[in-house]
Structure 1
Amino acid sequence: MKTKECPSCAMEVDASSKVCPICQYEFAETKTSYKWIAILLVISMILLLLNT
């Protein structure tokens, strides 16, 4: 079972949890589409810098 640490109370909780069962901290949802957009932007910036 994958776990993650709650930044508020430092308890290990299930990785799929949206809320910590101990302190009710709400984990931010990260969408994979944002990650891919960021990766593509970084790659394109690197390519632009290499071509100049």
Structure 2
Amino acid sequence: MRTKECPSCAMDVDAKSKICPICQYEFSEIKVGYRWIAMALIIVLLLYLLF
């Protein structure tokens, strides 16, 4: 079973959990599309600064 650490209480919870069962912390889900857009913007910014 894959787990992830809760940033609020540091307990290991199931990786698919949306809410920590211990402290009720709500995990935010970053959509894959936003991640690719952010990486593309960072690459463009770095290329702009280098040239």
| TM-score computed with the length of structure 1 as normaliser | 0.80
Q: What's the RMSD between the two structures over aligned residues? A: 1.2
Q: Where do 5+ consecutive residues of structure 1 fail to align? A: none
1:18-45 deviation per Cα after TM superposition (whole angstroms, max 9, x unaligned): 0011111111111111110111011111
Instruction: Give the Cα separation in 2 of the matches to 1:34 and 1:5.
Output: 22
| Percent of matched pairs sharing the same residue | 67
* Local SS of the residue matching 1:13: strand
Q: Where do 5+ consecutive residues of structure 2 fail to align? A: none
| TM-score computed with the length of structure 2 as normaliser | 0.81
* 1:34 maps onto 2:29 in alignment: no
Which structure: larger Rg?
1
Tell me the matched-pair count.
51
